[in-house]
């Protein structure tokens, strides 16, 4: 089903079809973004702390985030620009080359969302939202005291991607902190105890209500 833009909404070209088709080249960016965010789900959330050249801590969440390789551990962060300029997280990573990536759980969801506010670079989200700080081991940015998992990382590569363009930042993980409270009897992170938070479309978030094993073929 192809959809056409009207003054009021997007309408089916083929009223007898049960499929929605969107030709990207003929669609406004706002509409593409709205739909893309709603189908690229669920997305893990990287709660990223960085530090500016002036020594000011910054904290912000990003859900265009994922693993790239495990040898060495490298993750990717997709960070859009704001009015054509780097967001504080991207700018700090480019300037100081370090960060800490935290796994967000349901308990911390409201505080996490509060750190997504567009604040001046001289504002410290840790202090504004009321989040505890811990000193990191190998990097300068602070860790979130309440987070159960924190990964210290260093800038591996920066790539500008897309028409805007946005920042794709690859981060090499150099140290991982895991709270004992979320470990299973074998000393491995327990998914149920982690209680991870996922980003959906719009303002919606989700928790992990159920998990099961599926045996993969050899």
Ranges assigned E (strand) in 125-211: 133-134, 143-144, 149-161, 166-178, 197-199, 205-207
Q: Where are the alpha helices (DSSP H) in 2-43?
A: 29-39
118: Cβ contacts below 8 Å, ≥ 6 apart: 82
Q: Is the bond preceding 139 in cis, omega lying within 30 degrees of 0?
A: no
pLDDT at 204: 94
- 198: which 2 tokens? 């996922």
pLDDT at 59: 98
pLDDT at 84: 87
What the chain holds in terms of domains, given with CATH numbers, is 43-180 (2.30.110.10)
**φ/ψ (deg, to 5) at 194:** -65, -40
Burial (0-12, 13-18, 19+ Cβ within 10 Å), 168? middle
What's the pTM? Answer: 0.89
Can you count the helices (H) and strands (E) in the chain?
5, 14
| Spatial distance between the Cα atoms of 150 and 171, rounded to a whole number of angstroms | 13
pLDDT at 208: 84
Contact, 73 vs 173, CB < 8 A? yes
Q: Looking at the DSSP assignment, which residues form a beta bridge with residue 177?
A: 150
- Residue of 50, 171, 46, 210 whose CA lies nearest to 121: 50
Going residue by residue through the chain, which has 218 residues, state the pLDDT in tens, using 9 for 90 and above: 444 444 334 544 555 567 888 888 888 988 888 898 999 999 999 999 999 999 999 999 999 999 999 999 999 999 999 888 999 999 999 999 999 999 999 999 999 999 999 999 999 999 999 999 999 999 999 999 999 999 999 999 999 999 888 999 999 999 999 999 999 999 999 999 999 999 998 899 999 878 888 999 98
**Could you give the angle at the alpha carbon of 56 between the alpha carbons of 54 and 61, nearest 5°?**
130
Range 60-70 burial, b when 16+ CB lie within 10 A, else e: bbbbbbeeeee
């Amino acid at each position: 089903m192809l959809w056409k833009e009207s003054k009021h909404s997007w309408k089916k070209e083929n009223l007898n079809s049960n499929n929605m088709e969107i030709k990207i080249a003929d669609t406004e960016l706002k509409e593409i973004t709205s739909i893309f965010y709603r189908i690229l789900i669920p997305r893990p959330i990287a709660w990223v702390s960085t530090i500016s050249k002036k020594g000011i801590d910054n904290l912000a969440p990003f859900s265009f985030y994922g693993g790239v390789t495990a040898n060495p551990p490298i993750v990717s962060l997709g960070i859009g620009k704001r009015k054509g300029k780097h967001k504080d997280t991207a700018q700090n990573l480019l300037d100081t080359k370090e960060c800490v990536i935290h796994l967000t759980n349901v308990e911390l969801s409201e505080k996490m969302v509060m750190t997504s506010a567009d604040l001046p670079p001289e504002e410290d989200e840790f202090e504004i939202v009321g989040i505890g700080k811990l000193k990191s081991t190998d990097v300068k940015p602070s860790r979130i005291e309440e987070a159960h998992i924190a990964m210290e990382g260093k800038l591996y590569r920066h790539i500008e991607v897309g028409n805007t363009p946005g920042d794709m930042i690859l981060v090499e993980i150099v140290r991982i902190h895991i709270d004992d409270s979320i470990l299973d009897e074998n000393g491995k992170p327990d998914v149920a105890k982690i209680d991870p938070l996922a980003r959906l479309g719009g303002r919606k978030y989700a928790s992990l209500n159920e998990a099961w094993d599926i045996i993969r073929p050899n």
